[in-house]
Structure 1
Amino acid sequence: MAVNKLFGNDAAEAAGVTGERAELLAMLAQQRSFLRLTTKDLSDEQARLRPTASELCLGGLIKHVTSVERHWIGFILEGPSAMGDVTDMTQEDLAKRADEFRLLPDETLAGVLADYAEVARRTDELVATVPDLNASQPLPKAPWFEPGAQWSVRRVVMHICTETAQHSGHADIIRETLDGSKSMG
């Protein structure tokens, strides 16, 4: 319960979830908290800046992690069709994907953080209530997935945690480069 309080994960507590599900939700809440912390007190313009050699910006990282989480939850509920066909992407699809890593002029940091919070709420609800963490779906066809592989709900949630943690590290470097702030240390 202490981790839930520290990182604002009320999903497990509210649903009376314990054990493995509570642990998964606590880990996910912790990683989300670290990522959100990198945007604290920033303006929209600062969230758009790309101060490193990378194309990444803080607002874009929030958008990307939100999209990834949304797609993987769709995968749990609907199977591989929720992920789309990456083997036949058009130029328009590629442009949309690139925009996922940018905070566009008509977007605000507050808006992408609110979208992230809503996706997180839905994810937490699903993890708390899905009947079986072992339920699995075949992965969609993609060059980065082993052909014929399947992932369980548990594996998907662990992947979301990993993806969030990886991008939280990117975000920490970007924030430190912007103004010297650190989320840890």
Structure 2
Amino acid sequence: MPGQVAPIADEQSGLLAYLAQMRHVLKLTAYGLTPDQLRATPSASALSVGGVIKHVASTEDSWLAIVRGEERPVDYQAYEDNFRLADGESIDDVFARYDRIAEETEKTVTGLANLDHPVPIDHSVPWNPKDHDFWSLRWVLLHLIQETARHTGQADVIRESVDGATAYPLMAAAEGWPDTPWLQAWKPAV
């Protein structure tokens, strides 16, 4: 995937393209890491690169369940577990789940084909507005882009704390970009 979203034809495809780009950049923070490095918590945060990616996938899944009107009981242990890779869980497992969630998101959004589709606001949490009853599907997609981008920034800091790698050199390595005088692809430490 290029480093920039291609020109967009309409609002729906633009929102989906930016969400896909943010997912891709988030997943790149795991590029080339060992299982131990994916679980490392080298910064002031208790989060790891693998845990951040798993959390963001779960967040998108939860929001789209709300969009589809699916009832899901709140499981606080499962919520806590979504911030770390479980024993025996690989980043490939997390990526496969995230890819399935992304497919479902695209299918749901294109199936509704109405960015004004009403999505009920959960009034049981203090951070949601009490004076409105519905988000729009547009708002949910913008929120997912925002959440994914915010957590990608966290994963960037964690990744840089693990081995010094930063976003564009990682992208260059993962996508096989040629080295230039101002950008060299990341290479693992020997």
Identify the match of residue 145 of structure 2 among 161, 173, 179. 161
The whole-number CA distance in structure 1 between the counterparts of 2:3 and 2:101 is 17
Tell me, yes or no, if the aligned pair for 1:32 and 1:164 is still in contact at 8 Å: yes
Residue 137 of structure 1: how far off its partner (Å)? 2.3
Identify the match of residue 128 of structure 2 among 115, 123, 145. 145
**Deviations 1:123-157, CA, capped at 9 Å, x for gaps:** 12222231311011221121111125210111001
Structure 1 gaps of 5+ residues are 10-16, 86-92
Task: Compare the two structures and name the one with the higher helix fraction.
Answer: 1
Number of residue pairs aligned between Structure 1 and Structure 2: 166
Identify the match of residue 35 of structure 1 among 22, 26, 49. 26
Residue 69 of structure 1: how far off its partner (Å)? 0.3
Residue 45 of structure 1: how far off its partner (Å)? 1.5
Identify the match of residue 95 of structure 1 among 53, 77, 89. 77
Question: In the alignment, which residue of structure 1 is the partner of 2:184?
Answer: none
Residue 99 of structure 1: how far off its partner (Å)? 1.4
Residue 62 of structure 1: how far off its partner (Å)? 1.1
Structure number with greater Rg is 2
1:44 aligns with 2:40: no
The whole-number CA distance in structure 2 between the counterparts of 1:94 and 1:125 is 28
1:119 aligns with 2:101: yes
Question: In the alignment, which residue of structure 1 is the partner of 2:92?
Answer: 110
Residue 164 of structure 1: how far off its partner (Å)? 0.3
Tell me, yes or no, if the aligned pair for 1:50 and 1:174 is still in contact at 8 Å: yes
Question: In the alignment, which residue of structure 2 is the partner of 1:58?
Answer: 49
CA separation of 1:156 and 1:34: change in aligned 2, threshold 3 A = same
CA RMSD of aligned residues (A): 2.2
Tell me, yes or no, if the aligned pair for 2:66 and 2:120 is still in contact at 8 Å: no
Identify the match of residue 6 of structure 1 among 2, 8, 13. 2
Residue 7 of structure 1: how far off its partner (Å)? 6.3
Question: In the alignment, which residue of structure 1 is the partner of 2:157?
Answer: 173
Question: In the alignment, which residue of structure 1 is the partner of 2:186?
Answer: none
Query: TM-score w.r.t. structure 2 length?
Result: 0.79
Tell me, yes or no, if the aligned pair for 1:64 and 1:101 is still in contact at 8 Å: yes
